[in-house]
């Protein structure tokens, strides 16, 4: 019998024999009150209103996290409103209808609210309001907000230790700590003119309006930074360098495509099938985007079936191409980026920055292009746009580093996150926990595509039913949950 079962028996709760009695007095702690942690708490509190859900968040605000907190009014969602629906009442679309003044530009572009790409902070406002309502509800159980940083978790007794010395007694813990801050991908001494984390508050404040810039990384983080710089009046030249020099593709509406992939294909076969389908779709006037949308629901199952070698092969050879087609930008953002290129304010090249150093008024960066000789670039500042640090084997996150040292969690050999089985975390000895779980980007090794709202929402649904021991709902298989998430993403 596990320690938790012994404790439950002392409290008169037999988890195995009396399914209804497990509903009494459980304390579930969620570490991280960003998107995933808040939504999980909201959903679990509906299914198990008598349980206490401790939502531990280091920051002052709930429901936002990095994506919907560290953004300005100029940053828009990467997917249309319909794709951001997470099963709450009112729906995101209904909630937005009450705020028409903030939707003008989005509606001008798309015509229909459900197809519109609206400012990102609105989704944060929406979730935050749901959280306010849930926290205001009185009752024996429900969500309790705990403001503080979780520093450690002990197994016996089962507790969470906070930075201010408090210890919280819990029955189960869900880690929803989100993306890690970015790490610099080249050698450089610390400098005010090298921005390591562009999402940190005030990170771009000291960039002058004419400062020549080097942006390292060319994905959606770079696009976010470009849009933020434009909004603050930056008009200087911007040089973007990334390994492949590829910019994210744009969304295009219209058409539909049949499912094209299923578990069992190798990375090479998947590439061949996608290419053939893209050619066929385009010959019929259907945007290639629909083919990628049709692939999306099968991604978790395909990834799951791949061997470690196949996953490594995908990461090495196909990931960059997959990412730019999968992580797309709204059409009006793409138009702005095309304008920057046409005005020669933005140049993009393929290569690696090896090192950078500060010399009087300039920063000199050593660029090894993908083709050609090593060059020196002189700029006024460098902004690291390589996105979140994924490899947790080198994490600076106190809690995650401590949990790894304790052997309570295990990072995967490809450096993608923590090993888990259907959200239950694996310990260093390979045992799957029955009380320690994770959600969102932390669980990438098992799911691969687990960074965006639709997938995380499906994952949350499953974990809520698993923890609440609602076997029928839980028994629904992942592909069914994922069937509807392709279109428009």
Ligand X SMILES: Cc1cc2nc3c(=O)[nH]c(=O)nc-3n(C[C@H](O)[C@H](O)[C@H](O)COP(=O)(O)OP(=O)(O)OC[C@H]3O[C@@H](n4cnc5c(N)ncnc54)[C@H](O)[C@@H]3O)c2cc1C
Contacts to ligand X by CB under 6 A: 31-37, 56-59, 65-67, 77-79, 120, 149-150, 176-179, 224, 399, 440-441, 451-453
> Cβ of residue 377: shortest distance to ligand X, in angstroms?
26
- Cβ-based nearer residue to ligand X, 78 or 289: 78
What ranges in 168-266 are assigned the alpha helix state H?
Answer: 220-231
Rounded least distance, CB 220 to ligand X, Å: 7
How far apart CA 55 and CA 245 sit, in angstroms, is 41
| Shortest distance (Å) from residue 236 CB to ligand X | 23
Shortest distance (Å) from residue 467 CB to ligand X: 17
Asked whether 192 and 403 are in contact (CB, 8 A), the reply is no
Q: Strand (E) positions, 307-394?
A: 346-359, 362-369, 375-379, 381-384
CA-CA-CA-CA torsion for 333, 337, 339, 345, nearest 10 degrees?
150
Q: DSSP character for 232?
A: T
d(CA 217, CA 323): 12
* Min separation Cβ 450 and ligand X, Å: 9
If the CB atoms of residues 180 and 277 are measured against ligand X, the closer one turns out to be: 180
Residue 123: CB minimum distance to ligand X, A: 8
CB of 40 to ligand X, least distance (A): 9
Cα–Cα dist 195/184, whole Å: 9
Q: Residue 78 or residue 404: which is nearer to ligand X going by CB?
A: 78
Distances (CA, A) of 212 to 185, 347, 456, 457: 20, 12, 38, 41
In the complex, minimum distance from the CB of residue 449 to ligand X, in angstroms, rounded to a whole number: 11
How many other C-beta atoms can be found within 10 angstroms of the C-beta atom of residue 339? Answer: 12
C-beta closer to ligand X: residue 150 or 481: 150
Residue among 55, 64, 129 nearest 92 (CA): 129
Please check whether residue 438 is in contact with residue 404, taking contact to mean a CB–CB distance below 8 angstroms.
no
Q: How far is the CB of 459 from ligand X (least distance, A)?
A: 10
Nearer to ligand X, 356 or 456 (CB): 456
Ramachandran category for residue 398: left, alpha or beta (phi over 0 → left; psi -120 to 50 → alpha): alpha
**In angstroms, what is the minimal distance from the CB of 264 to ligand X?**
28
Cβ contact 74:234 at 8 Å? no
Q: Which is nearer to ligand X, 188 or 216 (CB)?
A: 216
- The β-bridge partners of 27 are 52
Kindly tell me which of 69 and 351 has the beta carbon lying closer to ligand X.
69
Report phi then psi at 141, rounded to 5: -105, -145
CB of 362 to ligand X, least distance (A): 29
C-beta of 168 vs 453, nearer to ligand X? 453
Q: Which of 26, 72, 21 is nearest to 49 (CA)?
A: 26
Strand runs labelled E in 99-186: 142-147, 150-154, 159-162, 167-169, 172-175
φ and ψ of 169, to 5 deg: -80, 130
Is the Cβ of residue 66 or residue 428 nearer to ligand X in the bound state?
66
CA–CA distance, 214 with 364 (Å, rounded to integer): 10
Nearer to ligand X, 34 or 217 (CB): 34
Name, in order, each residue with C-beta under 8 angstroms of 213's C-beta and a sequence gap of 6 or more: 207, 229, 234, 236, 237, 238, 239, 379, 380, 381, 382, 383
Q: Based on CB atoms, which residue is closest to ligand X, 356 or 453?
A: 453
């Amino acid at each position: 019998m596990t320690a938790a079962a012994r404790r439950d028996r002392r409290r008169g709760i037999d988890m195995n024999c009396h399914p209804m009695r497990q509903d009494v007095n459980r304390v579930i702690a969620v570490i991280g009150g960003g998107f995933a942690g808040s939504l999980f708490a909201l959903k679990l509190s509906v299914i198990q209103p008598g349980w206490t859900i401790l939502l531990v968040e280091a920051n002052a605000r709930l429901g936002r996290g990095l994506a919907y907190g560290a953004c300005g009014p100029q940053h828009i969602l990467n997917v249309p409103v319909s794709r951001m629906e997470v099963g709450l009442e009112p729906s995101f679309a209904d909630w937005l209808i009450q705020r028409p003044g903030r939707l003008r530009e989005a509606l001008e572009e798309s015509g229909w609210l459900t197809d519109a790409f609206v400012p990102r902070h609105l989704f944060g406002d929406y979730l935050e309001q749901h959280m306010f309502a849930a926290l205001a509800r009185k009752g024996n159980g429900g969500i309790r907000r705990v403001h503080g940083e979780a520093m450690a978790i002990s197994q016996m007794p089962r507790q969470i230790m906070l930075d201010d010395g408090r210890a919280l007694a819990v029955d189960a813990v869900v880690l929803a700590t989100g993306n890690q801050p970015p790490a610099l991908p080249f050698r450089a001494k610390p400098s005010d003119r090298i921005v390591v984390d562009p999402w940190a508050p005030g990170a771009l404040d000291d960039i002058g309006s004419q400062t020549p810039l080097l942006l390292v990384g060319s994905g959606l983080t770079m696009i976010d930074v470009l849009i933020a710089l434009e909004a603050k009046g930056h008009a200087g030249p911007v040089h973007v360098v990334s390994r492949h020099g590829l910019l994210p593709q744009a969304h295009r509406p219209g058409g539909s495509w049949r499912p094209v992939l299923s578990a069992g294909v190798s990375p090479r076969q998947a590439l061949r099938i996608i290419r053939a389908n893209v050619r066929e779709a385009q010959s019929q006037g259907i945007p290639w985007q629909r083919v990628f949308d049709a692939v999306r629901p099968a991604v978790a199952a395909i990834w799951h079936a791949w061997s470690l070698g196949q996953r490594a092969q995908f990461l090495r050879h196909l990931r960059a191409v997959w990412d730019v087609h999968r992580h797309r930008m709204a059409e009006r953002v793409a138009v702005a980026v095309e304008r920057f290129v046409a005005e020669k304010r933005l140049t993009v090249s393929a290569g690696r920055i090896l090192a950078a150093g500060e010399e009087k008024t300039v920063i000199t960066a050593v660029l090894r292009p993908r083709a050609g000789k090593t060059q020196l670039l002189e700029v006024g500042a460098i902004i690291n746009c390589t996105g979140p640090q994924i490899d947790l084997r080198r994490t600076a996150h106190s809690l995650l580093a401590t949990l790894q040292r304790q052997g309570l969690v295990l990072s995967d050999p490809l450096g993608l996150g923590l090993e888990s089985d259907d959200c239950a975390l694996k310990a260093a000895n390979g045992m799957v926990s029955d009380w320690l779980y994770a959600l969102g980007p932390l669980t990438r090794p098992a799911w691969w595509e687990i960074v965006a709202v639709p997938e995380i929402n499906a994952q949350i649904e499953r974990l809520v039913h698993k923890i609440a021991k609602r076997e029928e709902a839980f028994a629904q298989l992942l592909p069914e949950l994922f069937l509807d998430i392709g279109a428009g993403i």
